[in-house]
Structures are given as C-alpha cells and as structure tokens.
Amino acid sequence: MASHKVRIAARLRPRIQGEVDDESVQVHRASDDGTDQSFITVVNPRDTTQIFKFPFSSCYGKDSTQEEIFENDVRPLLDVVYNGVTVTIFAYGVTSSGKTHTMQGTRAEPGVIPRVVRVLFDMMKHHSRYNISFSVSYMEIYKDEVYDLLVNRENAPKLPVRENDAGMVFVANLTSLPIASVEEFDSIYNRASKHRSVGATNLNRASSRSHAVLTIEVAMLDSADNKTLTGKINLVDLAGSENNKLTGNDPSRMAESAAINKSLSVLGQVVHALNQGASRIPYRNSKLTRLLQDALGGSSVGLLICNIAPGIKFRQDTLNTLNFAVRTKNVENKPVVNERDNRPQPKPHFAAVATQPAPLKPAAIALPQASTSNNPLTIPSKPRASRVPRASCVGTANTFQSFSLNGNGSSLNRRRGTRLQNERVEESDNSTSMGIMLTEKEIDERISKMVEAEVARRLEERLKEKEREEEERRQKEQEQRAEASGSSQRSPSKRGQDVSLPSGILTPLLKKHTDLDNELKLRLQELERRLDRGNKELQLADVLSPTSRKKTGRAYVALARAHSEKGDLQVALDLYRKAETYVPDNIKLKERWILFIVHVFLLKLCYEA
C-alpha cells in the first residue's frame, strides 16, 4: 500500500494595528524568487546573526488571499474525497495567528470551510453515475471533553470517544444531519458556531477556547454495482497555544489554557513518536490526538495549515510552530478507499472453511507529494510499518480498498484478484461435490436429530445412575436396620439364660427403649427427607448459572431473616441451609449460619431454664 506524507502549507498573517514587527519573519515563494522551492526564514531571537530556514511545499505571505490557499492546496484534495478517501485538514498555530480566519473566513472573504462545501456540491454534476448524499457533524473538544455543537449547549452531554472492531476511532452519540444544499449547510453551521466556546484575552478578543472538528461525509451509491463509496473531509480548527504571561487570563481562562496547551503538547509527542518509530504512540493521552489518529500515521490524507504571527512577542511561538510543522511533514499515512458492498451475502454453512476475500481493486489516485529536499531541520524518515490499527478487510460489509499511486500496480493486483477468485470458485465447487448431494436443509435436519438423540441418551444415563445410587443406599439402610433389630432380639435371650430376673422389672426399661427406638426412627425419616431435599437442591444448583445461584442464595437468606424475625427459628434454619447449598463458598453466609445456630441453642436453654 502506497504511503502519503502529510502536506504542509505555511501562512503568515498581516500585521495588526499597534503590533510591533521587525520583519524578522520572511516568506520566500518559488514563483517570486525564481527558485523551485518555497521556504520561510526566521531570525534567531537569541542570536540575530543566525537565520533559520524552513522549506515547505506551500508558503503564503501577508498579501496572500483565501482563494489562493484554497485553490492551490485544498481543492485538489476534494477529488480524493469523491474517490472514497478520508481527508483531514487542520489549522495549527499560536493564539491570534489567524487559524479561525483561515478556516471560517468572513462573508467578504470566505475561508476553507464554506469553499469546501460549495465545491463539493458543484462536483456532484461530474459524478452522475452515483446517487450522492451529504451529511454533516460538528463537535468541539473543551477541557479535554467532547461536546456536540449541533445540539443546545445547555443540554449537551459529554460524549465518549470509542474504537470499533476495525480499529477506527469515532465519537459515540454524535449528531449527524443530512444536508441537501449549500444554504442548508450555512444555516446549520452558523447556528452551531454560536455554541462554540469563545473568550477574550489580551492577545485575541475572540479567542477560541476549544478545538473544533467539522466533518462532512459524502456517500456515493452505485446502483449498477450495488456498492457505496464513502468519502469524508475533516476540517479542524485547533485552539492556539498560549503564553499566560501575555494573555492576562483569569483563573477560568487559565484552566482552559492549561487544557489547550496540554492537548497540543500531546499532539507534538505523537508526531515525535511517529518520526522516531516508537513502539507506543501516545494517541490515548488526549482526546484531540485520539480524534486525529487517522490523520497522523493513519489511513487518511492530511494537510496541515501552519499559521504564524509576525510580531516580536510571537517570535519564539513562531519558531515552535514551524518546528512542529517540520516534524509533521515526515509523518506517513497509508490512505485507503472506504467501500461497502451492499449485495446480500449467502449465509455460509457453519462447517465451511473460512476463506479470505479476493483482493479489492486499488485506487489509482495521483496526489501531490510534499518536497523534503534541502531540508536541514528535518529528520529523515525510516521505512516502517504503521502502528495505527488498519481497517479490517474480513467480510464484505464496511471493507476498504488499498490506496495506490501506481497504475501498473493496479493491473497487477487486478490479475492476482481474478486468479484468487477463480481458485475460490473451484474450491467451493469441490466442497459442494463432497456433500453427497445433500441440501443444506437436509444436513441441518440430520445434525439436529443426532444432537437430540445424544442429549436424550445422556439424560437417560444420568437418570439410571441416580436410580442405581438410590437403590444401593436403601439396601444399605435396610441391612443396618436388620442387624440392629437382630442384635436387640438376641441380647435379652442370652441375659435370660445367665440370670433370671423377677417378672415386671424390665417392663419400664423396655417401654423406654421402645420410645427411644420410635424417636430414632422418626429422626432417621426426617434426615432422609432432608437428604432428599438437599439432593434436589444440589441438582437444581448444578443446573443454574453462577449468577442465578447467587440470586437464589440471596433470596433464601432474605426469607430466613424474615422468618427469624417472626420467631420461626426452625424454618429460618432450614432456609439458611438451603441458601448454603447454592453458595457453599460464601464465608459470610457460613458465619451467619453458625451465629444463628448458636442463637437458637441459647434460646432453647433459656426456655428450658
């Protein structure tokens, strides 16, 4: 799969009235200087004799227009969106450097967002074979929490950031509204922009206090092939990094500034880790980097608009911004085409061997690459495998095509896909011929009959085993009773032969022995009944799941408490025993049972006294 580096476009805003500018930041464009490279030079604030040079693919000075930036760097990416690829454009820079103006603009000078929407709708006529629909979602990250801007901010809950089975990051419960025209989008966007968190500081009277992410999704349904291409463009207006010594923030603004600076710091850590080929990329350290994960080392095409300010007080911030841009231009993405097959797939037999789907046709899309030659400040990128989770290619729903910039590779992959598909057709024919000409329904019926017969056989064996154990237990009890009755009959005769006693002396003893024998029999019968009940309870407990056992045990404990309070101690004791059969390993229940038995014993002693 071909890689695509993040493109960089640097823009220097004009000087604001009252701002001190010593012209230490200069923009050199290839067309102006007669060279084949654009770059920005900045005088080192610590050593004025040293000048830093930052080469980028696109550089714009103070006189640049919104249309110029859009036509040169943004518009070529809209063709990529219509090929089913995700594009992410984000503006980065210090506070009051012109990020929001570049992305939103004004009515007289519309920015990137309104121009993108207008051109996307205009491009529909060039794709008449598709049934195209648009949808929009808008969110902000405020103090590292995600909020939906398309709902009323007073009722807007914090939204969780999650990851699906294919490794794609998304925001759960985020509102997505369909749009049918540019006017409908303008109405929705203007209303939602009023919900965004904005505050005044010494450096910017309308400073953005949150990161805003606008997503426009283009769904293209091909009725002929019954497939859907889904292109996305994420337009991100990042909050600016702030120097609290200059902003004059109050405590609430300081908390917002701390959250902004922390998220931007994590963004720099992610870029650094990607350039170093680290084994762990800290995407999860911030909600911002989680949402930009696809644009930084992921499967989308990325464009960073680097906004810088010309004032002396912004000199160090300008250097930090340009250094971040230099590191970002070395980040490699591996774009994929988001394609979904809408045709219903035949249900495979459960015994069928799972096969990999045929390779999808690579997308032959030409994208301009950022230049990295003559760049003394960049770190040479090493070929490495991306550590961002790839979109899953298993199954036919929500599958992704590999993104390729080489037309020859397209034909080679197409030939390989055809060969593999033919091999799979032959394998499926062989598998059906081995089925002894049975339909799937007949196979399922036979399998169900065999399963039912096996279950019935095992149940019958279990019942027979239980009956056999019960019969053995009864025989042992009868033998023990017979031995006890025989010994009781033989012992009086032997004593009668040895010693002759007067008549009437043994009558009270025999009567008392008979009473004890009857009481013993009653106790044995009671024990047998309890044993039978215990066996039934154990059988029932074996059938239940662990959760059901706990619930049943708790129910018996609650009943035992109720009967104990009423004074039905024997019933409560039986209920505690039943509860113990369901949760035999519960130590607290055993301790409670022991205490209850002691309580019953003490009560009996009190009654007898």
- Confidence category of residue 536, pLDDT binned at 50, 70, 90: low
Residue 565: per-residue pLDDT: 77
Q: How far is it, in rounded angstroms, from Cα 174 to Cα 159?
A: 7
Residue 70: per-residue pLDDT: 94
Residue 395 has pLDDT above 50, yes or no: no
- Confidence category of residue 295, pLDDT binned at 50, 70, 90: confident
Residue 89 has pLDDT above 80, yes or no: yes
Check if the beta carbon of residue 254 is closer than 8 Å to that of residue 244: yes
Residue 132 has pLDDT above 90, yes or no: yes
Lowest-confidence segment of 66-80, 101-115, 353-367, 466-480 by average pLDDT: 353-367
Give the per-residue SS3 of 85-150: CEEEEEEEEECCCCHHHHHCECCCCECHHHHHHHHHHHHHHHCCCEEEEEEEEEEEEECCEEEECC
Residue 507: per-residue pLDDT: 61
Q: Summarize the confidence of residues 328-340 as an average pLDDT.
A: 89
Lowest-confidence segment of 96-110, 199-213, 417-431 by average pLDDT: 417-431
Q: Per the annotation, does 97 bind a ligand?
A: yes
Q: Per the annotation, does 93 bind a ligand?
A: yes
Q: Summarize the confidence of residues 579-600 as an average pLDDT.
A: 74
Q: Per the annotation, does 125 bind a ligand?
A: no
What's the burial of 186, exposed, middle or buried (CB within 10 Å: 0-12/13-18/19+)? middle
Q: Summarize the confidence of residues 320-340 as an average pLDDT.
A: 90
Residue 59: per-residue pLDDT: 92
Q: Summarize the confidence of residues 26-52 as an average pLDDT.
A: 81
Q: Mind listing the pLDDT tens digit for each residue in 200-219?
A: 565 555 667 789 999 999 99
Residue 428: per-residue pLDDT: 44
Residue 82: per-residue pLDDT: 93
Q: Per the annotation, does 18 bind a ligand?
A: no
Q: What percent of the chain has pLDDT over 90?
A: 26
Q: Summarize the confidence of residues 85-94 as an average pLDDT.
A: 92
Residue 415 has pLDDT above 50, yes or no: no
Residue 515: per-residue pLDDT: 66
Residue 503: per-residue pLDDT: 55
Say whether 526-608 and 4-341 share the same fold.
no
Maximum average pLDDT range among 182-186, 336-340, 375-379:
182-186
Q: How far is it, in rounded angstroms, from Cα 175 to Cα 164?
A: 18
Q: Summarize the confidence of residues 455-459 as an average pLDDT.
A: 80
- 575-608 CB burial, b ≥16 within 10 A, e <16: bbbbbbbbbeebeebeebbeebeeeeeeeeeeee
Residue 354: per-residue pLDDT: 57
Q: Summarize the confidence of residues 77-92 as an average pLDDT.
A: 92
Q: Mind listing the pLDDT tens digit for each residue in 542-573?
A: 666 777 777 777 887 888 778 777 777 777 77
Torsion-angle region of 137 (φ positive above 0: left; ψ -120 to 50: alpha; else: beta): beta
**CA-based diameter of the chain, in Å?**
145
Report helix, strand or coil for 233.
Answer: strand
Q: Mind listing the pLDDT tens digit for each residue in 343-375?
A: 887 776 655 555 555 444 444 455 544 443 334
Which segments within 224-316 are labelled E, that is strand? 227-237, 301-308
Q: Mind listing the pLDDT tens digit for each residue in 164-189?
A: 887 888 999 999 999 999 999 999 99
- Confidence category of residue 119, pLDDT binned at 50, 70, 90: very high
Q: Which residue has the higher pLDDT, 207 or 452?
A: 452
Q: Per the annotation, does 98 bind a ligand?
A: yes
Residue 420 has pLDDT above 60, yes or no: no
The domain segmentation of the chain, as residue ranges, is 4-341, 526-608
Q: Mind listing the pLDDT tens digit for each residue in 432-447?
A: 444 445 676 777 777 7
Does CATH place domain 4-341 in 3.40.228.10? no
Residue 85: per-residue pLDDT: 92
pTM, entire model: 0.58
Q: Per the annotation, does 311 bind a ligand?
A: no
- Confidence category of residue 257, pLDDT binned at 50, 70, 90: confident
Residue 32: per-residue pLDDT: 60
Residue 391: per-residue pLDDT: 39
- Confidence category of residue 467, pLDDT binned at 50, 70, 90: confident
Q: Summarize the confidence of residues 239-263 as an average pLDDT.
A: 72
Question: Where does 526-608 sit in CATH, by number?
Answer: 1.25.40
Residue 549: per-residue pLDDT: 74
Residue 609 has pLDDT above 80, yes or no: no
Q: Mind listing the pLDDT tens digit for each residue in 591-608?
A: 776 777 777 767 767 766
Q: Per the annotation, does 248 bind a ligand?
A: no
Per the prediction, the chain carries an average pLDDT of 76
Check if the beta carbon of residue 575 is closer than 8 Å to that of residue 559: yes
Q: Residue 596: which residues within 8 A CB-CB, separation 6 or more?
A: 560, 564, 572, 573, 576
Distances (CA, A) of 426 to 419, 421, 430, 433: 11, 9, 6, 11
Q: How far is it, in rounded angstroms, from Cα 192 to Cα 147?
A: 11
Q: How far is it, in rounded angstroms, from Cα 240 to Cα 585?
A: 59
Residue 46 has pLDDT above 60, yes or no: yes
Write down the residue that tokens 């039943």 correspond to.
578
Residue 412: per-residue pLDDT: 38
Which segments within 164-209 are labelled E, that is strand? 169-171, 177-179, 198-199, 207-208
What's the burial of 380, exposed, middle or buried (CB within 10 Å: 0-12/13-18/19+)? exposed
CA atoms within 13 A on the CB side of 117: 24
Q: Which residue has the higher pLDDT, 532 or 504?
A: 532
Residue 30: per-residue pLDDT: 78
Q: Summarize the confidence of residues 184-197 as an average pLDDT.
A: 89
Enumerate the H helices of 286-355 as residue ranges.
287-291, 315-328
Residue 236: per-residue pLDDT: 93
Amino acid at 195: H
Q: How do strand 51-56 and strand 58-60 relate by DSSP bridges?
A: unpaired
Q: Per the annotation, does 96 bind a ligand?
A: yes
Q: What percent of the chain has pLDDT over 70?
A: 71
